[in-house]
């Protein structure tokens, strides 16, 4: 089963006592805020995605990023095999190293070595020449949750997403319980999410919680 944004929103509205018909805007805003909080809190594997290959154009250094991009996987940007990765650098470092005029039309094109983010674009430096432009730019990124349709969030974390959304709703509604919810988010729910191991290999252990007595799931903490 996969949870939709509408289902999560309805759950948030029901717990807050919001009429999801008359006050749907508020419920939507709180739900989006909760999902964004989860997205910011970690490099979650369910939000990791591969961008569509970017067609390069000779002399062009800026290319639009994916519309749902939240953060770039800076180690993944390449134009081919293992020897084609571009080095991530800050924009001011690139300008200082190549000279600020490297962007100018009068400066010749070449083979890009560096890459950065500039606004909502991915920027490669130097400007590609016609030979290099025969390649495509490839990268991975972390995406935002959609505001319609099916969420990427695993069903196992839907309850936590509801709680995260409730925090923003309680703050907006001046609910005195918001401080306690924030503490639970930082000290209970977020560590719980970060501690989950989704992919298991043969022989891997799932460590038992600290509060569990030895022997509850075997002769030693952790099982199998």
pLDDT at residue number 207: 62
Q: Six-digit token pair at 152?
A: 């990427």
pLDDT per residue as tens digits for the range 26-82: 889 999 999 999 999 999 999 999 999 999 999 999 999 999 999 999 999 999 999
pLDDT of residue 221 exceeding 60, the answer is no
pLDDT of residue 121 exceeding 80, the answer is yes
Task: Show the CA angle centred on residue 137, arms to residues 109 and 77, nearest 5°.
Answer: 105
pLDDT at residue number 80: 92
pLDDT per residue as tens digits for the range 142-198: 999 999 999 999 999 999 999 999 998 888 888 888 899 999 999 999 998 988 877
pLDDT of residue 214 exceeding 60, the answer is no
Question: Which segments within 96-181 are labelled E, that is strand?
Answer: 114-118, 121-125, 136-143
Both 121 and 171 in a single domain?
no
17: number of Cβ within 10 Å = 9
Both 41 and 129 in a single domain?
no
Gap between the Cα atoms of 92 and 117, Å rounded: 11
Asked if residues 156 and 88 have their Cβ atoms less than 8 Å apart, the reply is no
pLDDT at residue number 197: 77
Both 64 and 29 in a single domain?
no
Note whether residue 212 is domain-resident. Answer: no
Note whether residue 97 is domain-resident. Answer: yes
Gap between the Cα atoms of 172 and 154, Å rounded: 27
Note whether residue 130 is domain-resident. Answer: yes
Beta strands 69-78; 136-143: pairing state: antiparallel
pLDDT at residue number 178: 87
Both 181 and 104 in a single domain?
no
Domain count for the chain, please give it.
2
pLDDT of residue 208 exceeding 60, the answer is no
pLDDT per residue as tens digits for the range 123-141: 999 999 999 999 999 999 9
Mean pLDDT in residue range 112-123? 97
pLDDT at residue number 199: 76
Mean pLDDT in residue range 211-222? 46
Q: Six-digit token pair at 192?
A: 């719980």
User: Which structural domain range is residue 164 located in?
Assistant: 5-45+145-195
pLDDT at residue number 20: 64
Both 51 and 135 in a single domain?
yes
pLDDT of residue 224 exceeding 80, the answer is no
Both 88 and 113 in a single domain?
yes
């Amino acid at each position: 089963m996969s949870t939709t944004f509408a289902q999560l929103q309805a759950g948030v509205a029901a717990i807050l006592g919001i009429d999801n018909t008359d006050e749907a805007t508020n419920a939507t805003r709180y739900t989006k805020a909760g999902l964004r909080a989860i997205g910011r809190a970690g490099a979650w594997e369910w939000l990791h995605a591969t961008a569509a290959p970017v067609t390069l154009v000779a002399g062009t250094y800026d290319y639009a990023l994916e519309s749902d991009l939240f953060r770039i996987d800076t180690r993944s940007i390449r134009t081919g095999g293992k020897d084609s990765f571009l080095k991530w650098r800050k924009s001011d470092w690139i300008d200082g190293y190549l000279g600020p005029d490297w962007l100018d039309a009068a400066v010749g094109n070449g083979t890009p070595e560096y890459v950065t983010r500039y606004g909502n674009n991915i920027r490669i430096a130097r400007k590609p020449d016609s030979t290099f432009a025969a390649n495509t730019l490839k990268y991975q990124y972390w995406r935002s949750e959609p505001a319609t349709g099916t969420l990427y969030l695993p069903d196992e974390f839907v309850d936590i997403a509801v709680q995260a959304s409730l925090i923003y709703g309680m703050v907006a509604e001046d609910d005195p319980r918001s401080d306690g919810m924030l503490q639970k988010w930082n000290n209970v729910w977020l560590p719980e999410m970060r501690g989950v191991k989704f992919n298991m290999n043969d022989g891997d252990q799932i460590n038992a919680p600290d509060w569990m007595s030895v022997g509850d799931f075997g002769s030693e903490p952790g099982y199998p």
